[in-house]
Amino acid sequence: MSVKRFLGPNKRDVMRQVRAALGPEAMILSSRHTDDGVEILALADDTLSALEAQAESVEQVPQSKQAVASINDQGDFSALAHRLLAEVQEMRSMLHQQPAAKELPSSAVEADDGQNELIRWAQAAGFSSALTKSLLQANEQNPLAPADVFKTHLQPAIKTPEIPVELFSEGGVLALVGPTGVGKTTTTAKLAAHYVMQFGPQGLLLVTTDSYRIGAQEQLRIYAELLGVEMVALGEDDGLETLTPRLHNKRLVLIDTVGMSQRDQRLTERVAQLRSAQGAETNTRLVLLLNAASQRDTLYEVVERFRTVAKENGHRIDDCIVTKKDESAQLGAAIDTLIQHDLTLHFVSYGQRVPEDMELADPAQLVTTLIESTQRTLAEQAEFQSLYQHKVITPVLPAPGEAAALRVSAGFKKLYRALHDYSPVFSVLELAHDACQRGNTQQGYPRLAAAHARAEQCLTDITVAGIVWPKATPVARCKWRLPPLPLNNAGYLAAIPLCTDFAEQDAKNVAMDALEQSFSASYHLCSGLPEAEQRKTIQRPWVAVINRNHRVCFDEKAVAALKLQGHMRKQSLHSVRYRNEPAKLELQYLPVNLPESDEAFFLWFGVVKSTQREAVFVRRHWLTPANQDITLTVQLLLEQLQVDEMASLSRQSVQALAHHFEQSSHDPALVYCGVVMAGLLVSIDQDGSPVGKALRSQLMEYSGRRGHATSGKLMDAFLQLLDTRAAATSVQAHLSSTQLEEV
């Protein structure tokens, strides 16, 4: 028997060694974590013949005689396969019988298993070895489950100020520092807005030293005007002493500094310019901004380099703000950096909206988010391990015609049937997923074409009541645009792209009136205001989302939509389901015009609030034709909010598929599959019927996740389901080919 031992830092590396040494037909006998890494014991291909000989020679065992007789009499290849599996499992049990393990008390073994599980969690979370060791030491006396360890020991280690708004309470000069692109200008505006809401605009001065980035000073100036705050732009060679004449009656000075890499040699001189003027009562307080989406090594380097430069110039860096939380798939690196460098976390920023997308640091919330992402990572690792085994281990073939041939759980079958019964679009998703598996190859193109054809068939089976029009620009941080999507009679998204070449098409070139006539649509939901020429051709009711700074005419003055809230008439309160939660919508409206236009519109302002907790989900502005029925308009606004998540969810779906298949995130098959999946998720989430509720419950149960049914959790269930189907289809094909070869 050629049993060989392989050792490496992780399973991927060890599996690569196995394939290189023993070939793709090797059998894995055992896999375990050791102090040195991951250990795998494997059998070479030549051992299979020895196993077959052994299976025929053990005539003294009654069960073996029966098995061999069955093979000889019936020619049943599956019985031989089951026999081989039994032999391999027996060998595995023998290999695992180690005397040292028997001598250990059961409590010690359980504790060791618990510590190993904690190490797996820490590694999945992205923690450093130093933080992992401290968690292991803290968990020795009273062992807890990994999630409880995070809550009990990790959460208190995240340092926050004793006073929630301590940055504002002392006043003085605050300078936001950090590398390029971390979000200093937007964060400065958010801090200024929070300060104004608490103390008013009179005591605040905004300062920008960013003369490098085009439009940076103008961006902060616009925010200053909206807040009614004074702003000063310093030149490249100006020091803080030039601000002395403007500091009269100013309680707080916020400085937006120029972004520089931690490796930029000019960093020292830029920080040196932040020295307070001679005679100032307090020194400039530096607040470091950390990008939550950065790698741990990068964050460590940023903190250490900026601290070193600050110290050389008489400063300290003890305070920080974490930005781009919404762009981070895993918060472990940021949390590790905060704890290991003893930084005080004041705020967490998670979007571009000012000031909504920033909140006070909440360690409990950060740890909860970390636990959820870590569980997701562990599930993905388990799935990858399963895929590796499918590729490396010779499959054990079930008997022909057996119901268990697909080797899938009852939960899979139940959920699979439920999704097929729920929507014919699920079959489109299956074909698109098949195309993703085959990649951008000659095998993948027919599958994608089949998905297009199936989608067109589905369109003939539904009544298109409305059309959802995306923005004319690409989805945020993507190279592709969303296509127009249909809504059925119930107002739910049908998730069928109305333009099959949407990965390349320019939305402005799609004629609204043409699709309106092709599908007899009754209304339009627009993510942006249609062009003037398009508005002339629209024959059906419509609503359009606009930016809060969009300028409209009121009382013959052109002003930003945001500034007209005090003039609006209140509308009634409405119930709505927004991003997986029940909510209420507070509406106001006002008659307006557009600058240089005679068209009459209603400007709408809506606030979506949770009905279960104190939270504002979103604030939104719309424009609608003034001659449109108010009751119908309100209904369209509610439907527009229901599809509000489509763009972000499509991006998440495509990125998840790209990571899973290791392909480009703008591959046509991936984009098509991701958009269809996102549309199905939105439809299921918004379905308040018993069928929709039951389907959400089944998806959560299948995903193995707990808590509230969020879109991310439902997406995990979809991905697991599609992977299981693909594996089952592969086994089915293997069975069929084997049977043909035997014939």
CA atoms of 666 and 267, how far apart (whole Å) = 36
CA atoms of 447 and 451, how far apart (whole Å) = 6
Q: Is 228 in contact with 234 (CB distance < 8 Å)?
A: no
Instruction: Tell me which H or E stretch contains 335.
Output: helix 332-340
CATH superfamily of 166-360: P-loop containing nucleotide triphosphate hydrolases (3.40.50.300)
Residue 48 has pLDDT above 50, yes or no: no
Q: Which two tokens stand for residue 17?
A: 């060694």
3-state secondary structure of 349: strand
Q: pLDDT tens, 208-232?
A: 876 655 556 777 888 888 888 888 8
For the CA atoms of 519, 525, 527, 533, what is the dihedral angle to 10 degrees? 70
Segment among 256-270, 386-400, 462-476, 628-642 with least mean pLDDT = 386-400
With bands split at pLDDT 50, 70 and 90, how would you rate the model's confidence at 481?
A: confident
Q: Is 21 in contact with 4 (CB distance < 8 Å)?
A: yes
Q: Is 228 in contact with 201 (CB distance < 8 Å)?
A: yes
Residue 521 has pLDDT above 70, yes or no: yes
487-501 burial: b if 16+ Cβ within 10 Å, else e: bbeebbbbbbbbbbe
Strands 542-546 and 523-526: parallel
- In DSSP notation, 60-86 reads TSHHHHHHHHHHHHH--HHHHHHHHHH
CA atoms of 350 and 477, how far apart (whole Å) = 15
SS3 letters across 10-64: CHHHHHHHHHHHHCCCCEEEEEEEECCEEEEEEECCCHHHHHHHHHHHCCCCHHH
Residue 75: what pLDDT?
43
Residue 559 has pLDDT above 90, yes or no: yes
Chain-wide mean pLDDT for the chain? Answer: 77
Number of H helices, E strands in the chain: 25, 21
CA atoms of 438 and 416, how far apart (whole Å) = 22
Give just the sign of the alpha carbon dihedral 634, 636, 642, 646: negative
Q: Is 709 in contact with 580 (CB distance < 8 Å)?
A: yes
Residue 657 CA, distance from chain mean position:
12
Q: Is 563 in contact with 523 (CB distance < 8 Å)?
A: no
Residue 72: what pLDDT?
43
Residue 159: what pLDDT?
92
3-state secondary structure of 602: strand
Paired strand residues for 252:
172, 204
Most confident segment among 207-221, 335-349, 644-658: 335-349
Paired strand residues for 175:
255, 286
With bands split at pLDDT 50, 70 and 90, how would you rate the model's confidence at 340?
A: very high
* Amino acid letter, 350: Y
158-196 burial: b if 16+ Cβ within 10 Å, else e: bbbeeeeeebbeebbbbbbbbbeebbbbbbbbbbbbbbb
With bands split at pLDDT 50, 70 and 90, how would you rate the model's confidence at 743?
A: very low
Residue 437: what pLDDT?
81
Give the Å distances, CA to CA, from 708 to 36, 651, 653.
39, 21, 19
Say what the pTM is.
Answer: 0.48
Q: Which two tokens stand for residue 173?
A: 């000069």
Residue 60: what pLDDT?
41
Q: pLDDT tens, 156-173?
A: 999 998 887 788 877 788
* Amino acid letter, 572: S
Paired strand residues for 320:
288, 345
SS3 letters across 548-583: CCCEEEECCEEEEHHHHHHHCEEEEEEEEEECCEEE
Give the Å distances, CA to CA, from 469 to 472, 486, 509, 674.
9, 9, 12, 17
With bands split at pLDDT 50, 70 and 90, how would you rate the model's confidence at 312?
A: confident
> What is the CA angle 634-636-639, rounded to 5?
115
Report the interhelical angle of 668-686 vs 646-661 (nearest 10°): 130
Q: Which two tokens stand for residue 242?
A: 């030039």
With bands split at pLDDT 50, 70 and 90, how would you rate the model's confidence at 314?
A: confident
Give the Å distances, CA to CA, from 91 to 1, 3, 24, 33.
11, 11, 21, 19
Contacts (Cβ under 8 Å, ≥6 apart) of 557: none
CA atoms of 460 and 257, how far apart (whole Å) = 57
% of the chain residues with pLDDT over 70:
73
557, with CB counted inside 10 A (0-12, 13-18, 19+), is exposed
Residue 61 has pLDDT above 80, yes or no: no
3-state secondary structure of 205: strand
Select the more confidently predicted residue: 31 or 562: 562
With CA atoms as reference, report the closest residue to 433 among 671, 710, 728: 671
> Strand order in 319-323's β-sheet?
230-233, 204-208, 252-256, 172-177, 285-291, 319-323, 344-349, 358-360
With CA atoms as reference, report the closest residue to 133 among 124, 142, 123: 123
With CA atoms as reference, report the closest residue to 588 among 619, 610, 544: 619
CA atoms of 430 and 501, how far apart (whole Å) = 19
Q: Is 668 in contact with 648 (CB distance < 8 Å)?
A: no
What is the average per-residue pLDDT within 299-312?
Answer: 88
CA atoms of 381 and 387, how far apart (whole Å) = 10
Most confident segment among 502-511, 569-578, 585-594, 648-657: 585-594
Q: pLDDT tens, 595-619?
A: 878 889 999 999 999 888 888 889 9
Residue 330: what pLDDT?
87
For the CA atoms of 517, 523, 527, 529, what is the dihedral angle to 10 degrees? 80
Select the more confidently predicted residue: 514 or 186: 186
Residue 445: what pLDDT?
67
Q: Which two tokens stand for residue 441?
A: 């190859």
Peptide bond just before 424 cis, omega within 30 deg: no
> What is the CA angle 315-320-322, rounded to 5?
150
* Amino acid letter, 103: E
Q: Which two tokens stand for residue 199?
A: 């103390």
With CA atoms as reference, report the closest residue to 157 among 391, 323, 394, 338: 338
CA atoms of 273 and 309, how far apart (whole Å) = 12
Q: Is 193 in contact with 227 (CB distance < 8 Å)?
A: yes
What is the average per-residue pLDDT within 245-249?
Answer: 71
With bands split at pLDDT 50, 70 and 90, how would you rate the model's confidence at 260?
A: low
Q: Is 613 in contact with 602 (CB distance < 8 Å)?
A: no
